[in-house]
Amino acid sequence: MHIQDLALRFNNIRQHEGYEFDCQPIPGCPDVLQITATNLDPLPIFVTITEQQILCIAYLWTEEQILEEHRLSLLEALLELNVPMPLSSFSKTADKYLIFGALSIHSSFDDIIHEIITLHENALEATKALQPFLK
């Protein structure tokens, strides 16, 4: 699936199984879409397609939002939560912590929506659980 096809699908459906979506391309980064489920708590999910996979990313917090004395415990907790957390994994790029899901490029549109909703839920739930380590 190409990113343009995905954008068209999102703009055509708007609503899917009770969820409403807003899909915007990122200026300067045409192969990245910002998807927001408008009837959920506002947290954008960024979707991009590489040669091998479809990547869905949500940003969790930045390095400066971590309580320095709890940093190690937080990193351990992230590793421990990585396996039990359904479909998503934690990661970090530069100073930003993120949660992501990787799908096969042959995934269906329904699979992608399922991933986005799951990622949204996991992001907020994990941040809530790890809040004691954050400022």
Q: Which residues are near another protein by CB under 8 A? A: 26-29, 32, 34, 41-44, 46, 48, 50-53, 55, 57-62, 65, 91, 93-96, 98-99, 123-124, 126-128, 131, 134
Compute the distance between CA of residue 107 and CA of residue 1 in angstroms, rounded to an integer.
8
Stated as kind and residue range, the H or E segment containing 117 is helix 109-130
- Give the residues across from 96 on adjacent strands: 62, 93
Considering the complex, state which of residue 14 and residue 96 has its C-beta at the smaller distance from another protein: 96
**Smallest distance from another protein to CB 23, Å:** 15
Considering the complex, state which of residue 113 and residue 123 has its C-beta at the smaller distance from another protein: 123
- Helix crossing, 3-13 with 109-130: angle to 10°? 80
**Smallest distance from another protein to CB 5, Å:** 19
